[in-house]
Structure formats: structure tokens, C-alpha cells
Amino acid sequence: LSIKLAKQVLKGDIQAASKLITAIENDLPGAIDGLDEIYPHTGRSYVIGITGPPGTGKSTLINALIGNYRSQDKTVGVIVVDPTSPLTQGALLGDRIRMQKHSLDKGVYIRSMATRGCLGGLAWATSNTIHILDAVGKDIVLVETVGTGQSEVDISQIADTTLVLLNAGGGDTIQMMKAGLMEVADIFVINKADLGGSDSVESEIKFILEMKKYSVNGWKPSIVITDAISGKGVDQLVEEIQIHHDFLIHNGGLAKNRQKRAKQELIMELQSSIRDFINNEIQEGGLLHEIIENYSMKKETSKSAVLKIVDLFAKQSK
Amino acid sequence: LSIKLAKQVLKGDIQAASKLITAIENDLPGAIDGLDEIYPHTGRSYVIGITGPPGTGKSTLINALIGNYRSQDKTVGVIVVDPTSPLTQGALLGDRIRMQKHSLDKGVYIRSMATRGCLGGLAWATSNTIHILDAVGKDIVLVETVGTGQSEVDISQIADTTLVLLNAGGGDTIQMMKAGLMEVADIFVINKADLGGSDSVESEIKFILEMKKYSVNGWKPSIVITDAISGKGVDQLVEEIQIHHDFLIHNGGLAKNRQKRAKQELIMELQSSIRDFINNEIQEGGLLHEIIENYSMKKETSKSAVLKIVDLFAKQSK
């Protein structure tokens, strides 16, 4: 079934893409086969990560970016990653609804993803959703996350260009440094410029960049001031993204980034295979069951149990 | 080094325990050997999970529980798990400081753990910290988390008894159901009873329990009303925990829970071994590097790459 869906995805069928994403999200058996089918045809989309503390206007900016790229006739996919517990889903729902003004446009596809409880599942699902949107023909894929490094989805590992948003109001800079957001930004976006204070935030960031000499593969992070609601500064931001894109192409950074991403993907793939293997293959009386029971009864150390399970897994996978 | 620490831990040396926990948190090489050394001597501590939405008074309740157990001459370990990004650490710091009134008591050990950025690392570190506190001789280990199932650390998978806190003020019940908190509670604690409204929250929970017929291994979740600040209801809560403990012992639930926990631990152990293997063993020109490069260049599907890596891993581990 997934392979059939994958073939439709490669023909540009967005509904098939949507179904394949759902299969991935729910970890349905065979979903991997669909991914393997489309994977050789991916790598065309440009992936832009958008992150920053809550309340910095990420969704509004995404709206503005969608508008800009659509006016250039580029198709856009949007992934909204929500690693928070359902306890706070109410707050995010509003943002999503705001983005729906583009929902009638066939050139735009918006998808939100939340954790399903399985460890690492969100990063894995996000990465694969990017491949699917790539395969279905989206020119630009925007991925919105909250926070960074410390959260389940480290956007800078996934995106070609990472935007870090902060409020013109200021006060976020020190917090951002602590959160590791300074290290991941290719472009800083100081949003809500209408509130005033963007100049002082800009000089704070410049000061820190100067002091720490941050640079990602030779790229010195740039700073753009926007007011996403009125659309001010958005053209300049899109231009800056293009400059970063060209920079990556010319110095080989794009290929390097994508190799790093491939490594991350394989790690996640392996981790989820192992988890599925243990959860699905364990049965009363079986060898796997015995190893786990022995470990549980303290008759076996974790090290020796792990070795035995890997052996079983390697044999079984053939 | 870790093995030496482990031996000291087994003699009841809390400073050695603290160092071993730090080694685990930072994923230091050899830390696993220390764990394997202590593991056969664990299983004596009773693990109580405390979860619930922010602002329900988890830390205050933990304070009250510590006081109660100490008056029974039981030693207590506390683990505060903070899966949120450093952006919100300020808020939690206050809670931790409040618990420090027990910090001069040698029978109490308090440790907070935050994510270090690696996937699944927090759950793994928490699980192993429990083993260490167990081995060092703590009778009771209290583990505080925010949220549940969807968050990185699913406390109900780790704890023997899971307490779910909510405010007497009400309004949380529907949110809690959405968050999957109803399913994991062995005991509901309606806290801040002095605010009034605990009766209506109690009848809401009873209604939902009745409707959904929740029961964990035959245990029908109970409800206790507390006012952790004044200490009202805390004795009754401790008694209720004891009743649940006895119930688990008698119907074999304790062993069953701990086997489930062992399975989870081995899954995490395997996942982190695989991640470390890929991150540490990858080198230009090596076989592992070649597999990842081929995958990155779309010359290989994830499935076949995964198989090859598992084979390498199994061989290398011997």
C-alpha cells in the first residue's frame, strides 16, 4: 500500500503525500517501504527552519514567507512541529488557524505534527515528512519548531537555512544564548519591529556574534528586521535566505549539511527499528523474552543483554 | 573509575552516588560499567512518580512526603526531571530551592536532571539515577516530572506507584484526559484543598473513572485530597501509597511492572549504544562512513543501510 502511495506522491499527488505522512506518523507497517521508494527522488526542496521562543511571531512570519514565495510561483510545504505535551495544544491551535488563509491555495500544503509518545518519534517523522513534501514537488519546505538543541527536534540538523526569531521588545538575548539558539542561527530575524527596540536587540546580537565569533561553515550569521504582520522586511529576509543558499552551494556546505542529516536519519531509523524489534518480536518462551527476563531478574548485566539482542536483531533482519 | 565509584555506592557513599549520576548524565565513557556493577544489587527502593500540570504544587507535596517518610525513619531520594528547554528553567529553580529545607538532612538526597540535547537521554539518565539511589540505600525514591506519556519521560513506565496531581480549583480534568494523565494514575491527588472546589473535582474524576472503567492491572485508581502546604491529607496519601504497594506485591504487579521497566531500559540502552557507535566510529574512508555517504547520495535505501550498520555493530561489539 505504501509503495502505491509513494508512486502517486512521485506524480505530485498531494493527497497521497498526506496519507503517506499519516502512515509515517502512526508508524504503520510498510511505511518505510514507501519512504525507500521516494527517497532516491528527493533532494530538490530547499528546507528553511524557523525557531525561537514562544510569542516571537513564528506563525505570522511563516504566513508572510508563504505569501512571498507564492508570488514567485514557488510551491510551499509547511511543517509545524509541536513537541510540547497536549496540555498546551490550545495555544498553538490559534496559530495554525491563522495560517489557514493559505489553505485554499493548492500550491501550499500545511501539516502539523505532535509527539505520539514514542521517543525520538517526532524528529524521525519530521525528517521523513520533509522527504515526502520534497518528493511531491514542493520547492520550499518551511519547518517551524519551538526552542532548539535541547528540544526533541533540532531544526539546525534538518534545515538548509535556520532562522532564529526574537522579539524587538528585547530581553530574549541572554535566554537565547543559554538555550543554544545563538549557535544554530544562519539568520537572526528581529520580528515585531513596530513595537520598537529592534535597534538595541540588533546591537546586542552583533556584540555577541563579535565576541563569540560564531560562524557556521564560514557563514557569518546575518540579521534581518521584520514586521511580519505588515510584511515589512520580509522581501529582504527572502533575499537573505537566497544569499545563504547561494553561499552553501558555492562552498559545498549544502552537501555537507545533507550528509550530516543523512547520518542523523540513519541513527533515528536504527533506533526505531530496534525499538520495534523488541516490542514486536518479544513473546513468551522466545529468546528475546528470556534475555529481558534475565536482565529484569538481575541475572544479566545490561551490557551482555544488549550484545545478545543486537545479535538476534542482526540475524532476524536478514 | 566508574567501577570504583560503584563499589563506594554499594557501601552507601552518597558522594560517590552523586559522581556516578554526573557520569551518567554526561554520558562519560565507562559509566555503563559502573551501572552494571551496581545493577545486581538494586530493586529494594520503592519508586513513586509524581506528575501533573504545572502549578499543581508538585514540589510542595514532595516536601511534605519527604517529611512524612523521614519521620518513619525511611531514607529518601528525589529526582526532579525537567524536560523543558532551558528557556523556562528560571521557573523551576524556585521549586527546587523550596525543597532545600531538607538538604541538610543526610537521609535525603535531591537531584534535578535536565535534557542534554541527546534524544532519549533524559529517560535513560532518570532510569539509571533511580538504580543508583536504590543501590546507595534509599528506601523511597520520588521522581517528579511535568506532563506524561507525550513527554520524554513517561513516569508511569518507571514508577511503582504513580501520583497524578491536580488543583482543587478545577478545570484541569478535561485537559488531563487529553494529556493521557487519567490512564497513568494509580492515585489522584487533589491538592490545594484550601482553595475550595475539591469536592467537585473529586466527583468529576469519579465520574470519568466510572465511565471509562480505568484500571491498572486490576487496581482501581483512588483519590486523595491534600493541602500540601499545611500538610493536611498527607498521612492519608502515604497510607494510600502503602495500600497500592501491598496490592502490587500480592497480585504480582510489582514484578510485572519491573519487567516492563527492564524492557524499556534495554531499548534505551540499545538506542544509545547505536547512536554512540555511529557518532564515534565514523571515520573518513571507513565502512560506516561509506554506508552513510551512499545513503546521503541516494545510492542506498535506508533499509539496506540500516541492515549493513547493524551487521557492523554486531561484529564490532564482540
CA-based end-to-end distance of chain B: 23
* A241-251 pLDDT per residue, tens: 999 999 999 99
Give the pairing type, strands A140-144 and A46-51: parallel
User: Which residue among A123, A180, A305 places its CB closest to the CB of B266?
Assistant: A305
User: Are the CB atoms for A152 and B152 separated by under 8 Å?
Assistant: yes
ipTM reported for the complex surpasses 0.85:
no
Instruction: Report chain B residues whose CB lies below 8 A from the CB of A298.
Output: 39-43
Nearest-neighbour CA in chain A from B247: distance (Å): 20
Contact status, residue A165 vs residue A57, Cβ threshold 8 Å: yes
Task: Give yes or no for a contact between A24 and A31, defined as CB atoms under 8 angstroms apart.
Answer: yes
Is A73 or B218 the better-scoring residue by pLDDT? A73
**Does A264 score more than 90 pLDDT?**
no
Asked if A115's CB is within 8 angstroms of B309's CB, the reply is no
Cell of A132: 515526502
Q: Assign A189 to helix, strand or coil.
A: strand
Using a CB-CB cut-off of 8 Å, the residues of chain A touching B310 are 270, 273, 310, 313-314, 317
Of A263, A273, A318, the CB nearest to B292: A263
Q: Out of A150, A154, A266, name the one closest to residue B305 (CB).
A: A266
CB B274 to CB A275 under 8 A? no
Neighbours of A15 (CB within 10 A): 11
Name the band, by pLDDT with cuts 50, 70 and 90, for residue A314.
confident
The answer, yes or no, to whether residue A44 has pLDDT greater than 90, is yes
DSSP state, residue B60: H
Query: What's the confidence (pLDDT) of residue B90?
Result: 39
Range A136-152 average pLDDT: 78
CA–CA distance, B285 with A45 (Å, rounded to integer):
29
- Whether A266 sits inside 8 A of B303 (CB atoms) is no
Summarised one tens digit per residue, pLDDT across range B279-306 is 888 777 788 999 999 999 999 888 889 8
Output the pLDDT for position A146: 73
Q: Is the sign of the CA dihedral B301, B298, A160, A237 positive or negative?
A: negative
Whole-angstrom distance, CA of residue B80 vs CA of residue B88: 14
Chain B residues whose CB is inside 8 A of the A43 CB are 298
Flag the least confident range among A13-22, B132-141, B209-218: B209-218
Q: How confident is the model at residue B83 (pLDDT cuts 50, 70, 90)?
A: low
Determine whether the interchain pair B266/A306 forms a contact, defined as Cβ–Cβ distance below 8 Å: yes
Average pLDDT over residues A128-148: 90
The 3-state secondary structure of B204-249 reads HHHHHHHHHCCCECCECCEEEECECCCCECHHHHHHHHHHHHHHHH
Q: What grid cell was written down for A136?
A: 511531491
pLDDT tens string B170-225? 666 666 666 677 778 899 999 988 877 788 888 888 887 777 666 666 888 999 99
Question: Which residue of A lies nearest to B295 if distances are taken between CA atoms?
Answer: A262
Q: pLDDT for B48-60, tens place per residue?
A: 999 887 778 888 8
Mean pLDDT for the stretch of residues A2-23 = 93
Q: A282 and B263 in contact by Cβ < 8 A? A: yes
**Min Cα–Cα distance to chain A from B177, Å:** 10
A71 vs chain B: nearest CA distance in angstroms?
32
By Cβ distance, the residue of A149, A267, A306 closest to B269 is: A306
Mean pLDDT, range B146-160, rounded to an integer: 70
| Model confidence at A212: pLDDT above 90 | no
What is the predicted pLDDT for the residue at A197?
A: 79
